[in-house]
A and B are shown apart, each in its own frame.
Chain A
Amino acid sequence: MADTDLYWIGIDLANGILSAAMLGGYYALISVGLALSFGVMRLVNLSHGDWLIVAAYLCVTLLAAVPVVPFWSLLVVVPLMYGIGYSVQRFLLNHVSVQAAERRGMSPVFGLMLPLLVTFGLSIVLSQGMLLIFSSDAATIKNDLSFSAIRLSEDLSVSTLRLGFFVAAAVLLGGLTLWMRSTHIGRAIRAASDDPEIAALMGMRTPHIYAVASGVALASASVAGFMVGMSRSFQPFDGPPFLLMAFGVVILGGLGSLAGSFVGGILLGIVQVLAGTYFGPAAQQVSGYLLILLVLAVRPQGLFSR
């Protein structure tokens, strides 16, 4: 009898941790774009969550016009979002960035406020724009994976969709890290985030480099948006909660750290799911915020920040 109890406790824990890790992948995916924007441009992009929803709507629209397997919509939406991210940074955000304010001799406080206000405005424009175009009816990316699960043993299983999130997050973050480390443009992005003035002296055109980084941030946000659309229904005003979620993860992992986003996401997932399993659903949300508070108190720069 005791053995059976122990077995089920173990299975509960294993199921919890497994699904938490998968949830963590989802969180990491949502936050990677925000981490990149902050890490490179020191830009706190308050419209991050709305871009996720924009990407999800783009997928839905595309799939309505061309009914293929949902995954293929990413082939169009990811480059499209890259282009949008590049343009928004190049033609709007570069002119209101911390660096632009510094160049104009404005106070650093104003320099930090300016992009906050602009991205907040962008968030409003995006959500209202989506309301205008798509109305407030809930949309979803229809797929077969939502209710399927992979059985690992008789009592242990994992949601196929969440496994997909986890794999996508790992591949995306691994790929991005490799890209940042081993390509000229990746190295330039890291250099420009360290010291834009000196980066320019190396021949790096920082406006272009920031735009590339922003393009990549939105391209990764579009993968996250696709995943959101696959796993639940969404409406034009659903962006801000994702921004909050991403903020939590980025604070945990360390502002700007890609590896931190991954670990932060998984940590948040594990704490939330275990708290939910053992203390009820109310504890799930509270535990996440408590964890963020704890990290802020003990290690305010985040777990992976140098």
Chain B
Amino acid sequence: MLRVTSLAAYYGELRAIYDISFELQRGDVLAIIGANGAGKSTLLRSLVGLMNHGSSTRMRGVVEFDGHRLDKLAPDRIVDVGVALVPEGRRLFARLSVEDNLLAGAYLARCRPAIAALLEEVYALFPRLRERRRQVVSQMSGGEQQMVAIGRALMSSPKLIIFDELSLGLSPAMVDDIYRNFTKIVESGTTTIVVEQDLKRALKSCTRFIVMLEGSIVLEGRPGEVTEEQITAAYFGTTVAVRVPGAAHG
């Protein structure tokens, strides 16, 4: 469904990620683990087309998704072929109401006929948003804003949904709440990529993971295939990087 081959991305002359290759099948949940500056967000930005537009950033490599070359498409086309991003820091349209933010997520012509049903699905997932649908989002708590950000991404009925720092800056109770809904989204069969700082939670909720260090993948596999110590070592780069290809090791 998604195949990334030899992906590299640059900010000016600075190479932020390189030699990134991985594949995802339909229904996979991929957790991307890594310290700050490891290149996780740059990888996600590359997938949604934000690194190959403008002269200060550029990318190389191939990103294929459902027969489309994402590396050749602009961000507004990438969402149209079914990839949605829940960005780090939520990045909501601050002056718009909850409902307007959600409706903005369904801007694409293919979403408009189903707009009422999509809105209803999001409100069923996050009933609190229905109560607050007229509220301007800048006046809401971080957790509620995260719900709006997730809802907004779901409004484009994506086949692949990408969460950048799903639980960053949220209270523990809110994180539990968000993850309950995350599980529901995953169970609906949507292919998912999630960047998460909380290692345990990331491993618990994914079917595959990659660990990034200094711009490249140093470890990949499925939860249970490698020990938590190995992952921690790869995370901090304290041992020689071991690349576990696919599902080879237990």
When the two chains form their complex, are residues A187 and B104 in contact, meaning their CB atoms are under 8 A apart?
A: yes
8 A Cβ contacts from A178-236 to B: 181, 184, 187-188, 190-191, 194-195, 197-206
Residues in chain A near residue B74, CB distance under 8 A: 200, 205
Q: Provided the pairs A200-B74, A201-B48, A202-B79 are in contact, do residues A188 and B107 lie with their beta carbons within 8 angstroms?
A: yes
When the two chains form their complex, are residues A104 and B55 in contact, meaning their CB atoms are under 8 A apart?
A: yes
8 A Cβ contacts from A35-75 to B: none
Listed residue (A194, A197, A203, A206) with the most chain B CB atoms within 10 angstroms of its CB: A203
8 A Cβ contacts from B48-85 to A: 48, 50, 53-56, 74-76, 78-80, 84-85
8 A Cβ contacts from A149-205 to B: 181, 184, 187-188, 190-191, 194-195, 197-205
When the two chains form their complex, are residues B95 and A202 in contact, meaning their CB atoms are under 8 A apart?
A: no
Residues in chain B near residue A280, CB distance under 8 A: none
When the two chains form their complex, are residues B79 and A191 in contact, meaning their CB atoms are under 8 A apart?
A: no
When the two chains form their complex, are residues B108 and A190 in contact, meaning their CB atoms are under 8 A apart?
A: no
Instruction: Tell me how far the C-beta of A69 lies from the nearest C-beta in chain B, rounded to whole angstroms.
Output: 39
When the two chains form their complex, are residues A190 and B156 in contact, meaning their CB atoms are under 8 A apart?
A: no
When the two chains form their complex, are residues A194 and B112 in contact, meaning their CB atoms are under 8 A apart?
A: no
When the two chains form their complex, are residues A203 and B80 in contact, meaning their CB atoms are under 8 A apart?
A: yes
The size class of the interface chain B forms with chain A is: 20 to 34
When the two chains form their complex, are residues B112 and A184 in contact, meaning their CB atoms are under 8 A apart?
A: yes
When the two chains form their complex, are residues B79 and A194 in contact, meaning their CB atoms are under 8 A apart?
A: no
When the two chains form their complex, are residues A194 and B94 in contact, meaning their CB atoms are under 8 A apart?
A: yes
Listed residue (A104, A198, A201) with the most chain B CB atoms within 10 angstroms of its CB: A201
Q: How far is the CA of A184 from the CA of B103 in the complex (A)?
A: 8
Instruction: Tell me how far the C-beta of B103 lies from the nearest C-beta in chain A, rounded to whole angstroms.
Output: 6
Q: How far is the CA of A103 from the CA of B55 in the complex (A)?
A: 6
When the two chains form their complex, are residues A105 and B76 in contact, meaning their CB atoms are under 8 A apart?
A: no
When the two chains form their complex, are residues A198 and B107 in contact, meaning their CB atoms are under 8 A apart?
A: no
Instruction: Tell me how far the C-beta of B228 lies from the nearest C-beta in chain A, rounded to whole angstroms.
Output: 34
When the two chains form their complex, are residues B54 and A190 in contact, meaning their CB atoms are under 8 A apart?
A: no
Q: How far is the CA of A188 from the CA of B107 in the complex (A)?
A: 8
Instruction: Tell me how far the C-beta of B93 lies from the nearest C-beta in chain A, rounded to whole angstroms.
Output: 4
Contact with A along B86-127 (1 / 0, CB 8 A): 010001011110001001110110001000000000000000
Instruction: Tell me how far the C-beta of B162 lies from the nearest C-beta in chain A, rounded to whole angstroms.
Output: 10
Residues in chain A near residue B12, CB distance under 8 A: 105
Residues in chain A near residue B107, CB distance under 8 A: 184, 187-188, 191, 202-204
A-B pairs under 8 A by CB, number: 80
When the two chains form their complex, are residues B156 and A194 in contact, meaning their CB atoms are under 8 A apart?
A: no
Instruction: Tell me how far the C-beta of B97 lies from the nearest C-beta in chain A, rounded to whole angstroms.
Output: 9
When the two chains form their complex, are residues B80 and A202 in contact, meaning their CB atoms are under 8 A apart?
A: no
When the two chains form their complex, are residues A194 and B103 in contact, meaning their CB atoms are under 8 A apart?
A: no
When the two chains form their complex, are residues B93 and A203 in contact, meaning their CB atoms are under 8 A apart?
A: no
Identity of the chain A residue whose Cβ is nearest the Cβ of B53 in the assembled complex: A103
When the two chains form their complex, are residues A105 and B104 in contact, meaning their CB atoms are under 8 A apart?
A: no
Identity of the chain A residue whose Cβ is nearest the Cβ of B95 in the assembled complex: A194
Which of A103, A191, A203, A206 is within 8 Å of B96, CB to CB?
A: A191
When the two chains form their complex, are residues A202 and B104 in contact, meaning their CB atoms are under 8 A apart?
A: yes
Which of A105, A181, A198, A205 is within 8 Å of B93, CB to CB?
A: A198
Q: How far is the CA of A103 from the CA of B52 in the complex (A)?
A: 11
When the two chains form their complex, are residues A198 and B94 in contact, meaning their CB atoms are under 8 A apart?
A: no
Q: How far is the CA of A10 from the CA of B175 in the complex (A)?
A: 64
Residues in chain A near residue B103, CB distance under 8 A: 184, 187
Instruction: Tell me how far the C-beta of A197 lies from the nearest C-beta in chain B, rounded to whole angstroms.
Output: 7
When the two chains form their complex, are residues A205 and B104 in contact, meaning their CB atoms are under 8 A apart?
A: no
Residues in chain A near residue B78, CB distance under 8 A: 201
When the two chains form their complex, are residues B54 and A104 in contact, meaning their CB atoms are under 8 A apart?
A: yes
When the two chains form their complex, are residues B156 and A306 in contact, meaning their CB atoms are under 8 A apart?
A: no
When the two chains form their complex, are residues B79 and A203 in contact, meaning their CB atoms are under 8 A apart?
A: yes
When the two chains form their complex, are residues A200 and B76 in contact, meaning their CB atoms are under 8 A apart?
A: yes
Residues in chain A near residue B222, CB distance under 8 A: none
Q: Does B159 contact A (CB under 8 A)?
A: no
Q: Does B208 contact A (CB under 8 A)?
A: no
When the two chains form their complex, are residues B108 and A203 in contact, meaning their CB atoms are under 8 A apart?
A: yes
8 A Cβ contacts from A253-306 to B: 306
Residues in chain A near residue B112, CB distance under 8 A: 184
Sample of 14 further A-B pairs with CB below 8 A, known A105-B55, A194-B93: A103-B54, A181-B100, A184-B112, A187-B104, A190-B93, A190-B96, A194-B96, A198-B87, A199-B93, A201-B48, A201-B79, A202-B107, A202-B108, A204-B107
Minimum-distance CB pairs A-B, first 10: A105-B56, A103-B54, A203-B108, A200-B75, A194-B93, A191-B104, A203-B79, A191-B93, A198-B91, A203-B76
Which A residues lie at the B interface, using CB under 8 A?
102-105, 181, 184, 187-188, 190-191, 194-195, 197-206, 306
Which B residues lie at the A interface, using CB under 8 A?
12, 48, 50, 53-56, 74-76, 78-80, 84-85, 87, 91, 93-96, 100, 103-105, 107-108, 112, 152, 156
